Structure 1
Amino acid sequence: MLRGEFHIFACRGGEAYAQKLVFHLRDLVKERGKELLRKDSLTLQERRELEFYENLREQDIGLGKATVVHFLDDEMNVQLDKYENVRDKDVFLVQCPYNTTDDLTISQHLLETFLFLDSLRRAKARSVTLISLYFPYGRGDKQHAKDGVPASLLANLVTMAGMDNVVTMDLHADQILGFFDPTKVRVEHLHASPLMIHFLQGRISEGAKMGAPDTGAAKRTQFYARHLEKPMLMAYKRRSYERKHTVDETRILGLPGKEEVVVVDDLVSSGRSVAKVIERLAEKGTKRVVAVCSHPLLTGDAVELFDKLYEDKKNPFQLLVGTDAIPHHKEVLGKPWYVELDTSRFIAKAVFEMHTSGSLTKLHDPFCVQRLGLWVPPKNLC
């Protein structure tokens, strides 16, 4: 049986992404429904999927309506539309907590998420699943001196607020999964690597190498290197804890590819760490550098930094590949050095599998994108 009727809501930061998610979910369900109707006999899982398809034919799925109410003292609340009925329904709540296209801070986005959850709970939703591909405060996963551990605190807040499931992508550190109580919150930790690998296949040279910008990215880079059948190198990075956001030293460990290096990381914030690695690779004679990351935050003057790297004819930097987990303005999407991969069809498949009690294991297959028809061509690919 299905887990319940289906509904999607979006916080303000996630509205644009939720629209794409709904579009691809409808398309995937329609394709799967036609495929199942042609079969003579169905398995138990296929019968669940067909029931989901039949339900959606009767109920045209769309975004639920809600209003964020602001008060004069900067307090706010979330009010569901009076015609929205979520009683005993499974609700998916979409949020992009770091969104460069609006003026809200991460803290405001998070507060809105919790207020949304509270409204849905009081409206008797059967379950609430948060879709937040970027998990903020992920870099605060360990304690230094007398610092707090904000990643642990945020996981506890999500749990105590009553969230049933969390769908996220490429957490900064695997130990963040351990901050959630698995008896209360189920976390679906997905990866952008299938999309990235699909994009890189046929676009990188035979002599390319995969590069980890630091030891923390070594495991992720090794995954890319294994499935793209490329050798790997690693950079050693020593940070300054006296001066925040500062890298004191960067070294290249291993013989870099003279022809091309693909630098793999989970996020790019100020861009200075990647720039240091590119600088060291240039000194070693590398002719072309491509950087890929799941979460292109591009904070501060990062855009100007990559502009300079790209315009410098002596610099090997050619491309930064990110995803739409971080929404950006058109001026960033129009940069010749930036390509944004669309994850919405990939996540729509995850939502479909979750709601029909299917398996998400297939989405961890590095070559699932082509096999399952989850590729959306980048709109800003030059």
Structure 2
Amino acid sequence: MDGRLLIFSGSANPELAKEIATCLRMSVGRALVGQFKNGETRIKIHDNVRGCDVFVIQPTCNPVDHHLMELLLMIDALRRASANRVTAVIPYYGYAKQEKKTAGREPISAKLVANLIRTAGADRVLTMDLHTPAIEGFFDIPVDHLQAGPLLADYIHSMNLSNPVVVSPDAGGVGRANRFRERMGANLAIIAKQRPEPDTSEVLEMVGEVEGKTAIIIDDMISTGGTLVEAAEALIERGANKVYACATHGIFSADALSIIGRSDLIETLITNTIPQSSEASSARVRTISVAPLFAEAIMRIHKDLSLSALFS
């Protein structure tokens, strides 16, 4: 049993965990993940994990604090049950937007969450498309950072869109958009914006030619949908024929799906790092699976093989 690979899942995205396990030709480990009557999180691992290489799959999506606590308690339970190694698989890393202080007397929440995961007993972290790559440096344990860009780019490329142009919705995402553009062989456009307050944005200017082209907006996450819709409107005003959108994480907080459903977007492509409601399809949101990529990464980590080939 020494070094046996086991996978466990919290309640955040059990469907993704099952799909990853299926790709690995195994089943998800047995565990009780629930709540006591007083509202406290209850965790009990039913399988023997002594000496095993354990992966806990739990995106810290909404409700973020609850799913984070589940993850921490599962790691602690596995560590106390003598697991040989515990890897926290966090497809979507909550609090990632709070990676720096923007004003006085604010926390750096992303750093605190990293400290909590390490303190709980995680030996390493496997995640995807952090909002800021610098978050990797918040951890004092190894971090494997997967990228969904190649999957999304290959899917868009297979659609054979006419005269495509890849659009970064802000200056911070230019690197991501440029890698996407190179994989597709398309041109690049950049939208400059400002944020007068959290979760709101204003389009200021655009660099690049979009007239008569099919625009593809690429971002790491979609939260309120405001940035996406404003970018789509600006592209249509500049003469774009059609507008698509791609993002790794579909957060869709508040009435984001309604906003996107009423927008000029032809289709919004996301991954299944976060589970989606039935309303997503009516908002023309399409989901592709990252389970095979995570399964391959988990197997490579288990066998102590390089993950570099997955980043190309």
Q: Is 1:223 the equivalent of 2:164?
A: no
1:203 aligns with 2:159: yes
Match of 1:239 among 195, 200, 204: 195
What per-residue deviation string (whole Å, max 9, x for no partner) do you get for residues 72-128 of structure 1? 3322331122xx2100100010112215xxxxx110110111111111111000010
Cα pair distance change 1:287/1:3, threshold 3 Å: farther
SS in 2 for 1:9: strand
Please tell me whether Structure 1 or Structure 2 has the larger radius of gyration of its CA atoms. 1
Percent identity over the alignment is 29
Unaligned runs of 5+ in 2: none
Say yes or no: does 1:90 pair with 2:53.
Answer: yes
| Matched residue type, 1:220 | R
Contact 1:209 1:256 in 2 (8 A): yes
> Aligned residue for 1:121?
79
Aligned pairs for 1:57-96 within 5 A: 61-68=26-33, 70-81=35-46, 84-96=47-59
Query: Secondary structure of the equivalent of 2:193?
Result: strand
Check the 8 A contact 2:13/2:274 in 1, yes or no: no
| Aligned residue-pair number | 311
Counterparts of 1:102-251 in structure 2, within 5 Å, are 105-146=63-104, 147-181=106-140, 185-241=141-197, 244-251=198-205
Change (3 A) 1:215 1:204: farther
* Structure 1 residue 338: Cα displacement: 1.3
C-alpha separation in 1, matches of 2:267 and 2:192: 22
**Residue of structure 2 equivalent to 1:324:** 272
Compared CA separation, residues 331 and 275, structure 1 to 2 (3 A) = closer
Give the SS at the match of 1:270: coil
Show structure 1 runs of 5+ residues with no match.
Answer: 27-60, 100-104, 310-314, 366-382
Matching residue of 1:377: none
TM-score by structure 2 length? Answer: 0.95
Shift in Å, 1:162: 1.5
Name the CA distance, whole Å, in 2 between partners of 1:341 and 1:250: 32
1:189 positional shift: 0.1
Letter of the 1:358 partner, please give it. Answer: L
Distance of 1:113 and 1:150 partners within structure 2: 16
- Please give the alpha-carbon distance, in whole angstroms, between the structure 2 residues aligned to 1:363 and 1:306: 31
Q: For residues 110 and 148 of structure 2, what CA distance do their matches in structure 1 show?
A: 21
Matched, 1:294 2:268: no
Q: Which amino acid aligns with 2:274?
A: I
Aligned residue among 283, 294, 297 for 1:350: 297
Contact 1:3 1:356 in 2 (8 A): no
2:103 maps to a residue whose letter is: A
Residue deviations 1:105-154 (CA, integer Å, cap 9, x gap)? 11011011111111111100001011111000111111111221111111
Amino acid at match of 2:94: P
- Answer yes or no: is the 8 Å Cα contact 2:203–2:231 preserved in 1: no
Q: 1:339 aligns with which of 282, 286, 291?
A: 286
Partner letter of residue 9 of structure 1?
Answer: F
1:237 Cα offset (Å): 0.7
SS of match in other structure, 1:232? strand
> Matches of 2:160 and 2:267 in 1, distance apart?
11
Higher relative contact order (CA 8 A, sep 6+): 1
Where 1:143 maps in the other structure, the secondary structure is coil
Which AA in structure 1 matches 2:21? V
Q: 1:69 to 1:337 in 2, by over 3 A?
A: closer
| Post-superposition CA distance 1:198-245 (Å, at most 9, x none) | 10113243421110000111000010111211110100011113xx32
The letter of the residue matching 1:14 is N
Mapped partners of 2:52, 2:174: distance in 1? 41
Q: Secondary structure at the match of 2:13?
A: helix
8 Å CA contact retained: 1:213, 1:264: yes
Cα distance in 1, alignment partners of residues 51 and 122 from structure 2: 15
Q: Is the 8 A contact 1:266 1:293 kept in 2?
A: yes
RMSD: 1.6
Q: Is the 8 A contact 2:261 2:283 kept in 1?
A: no
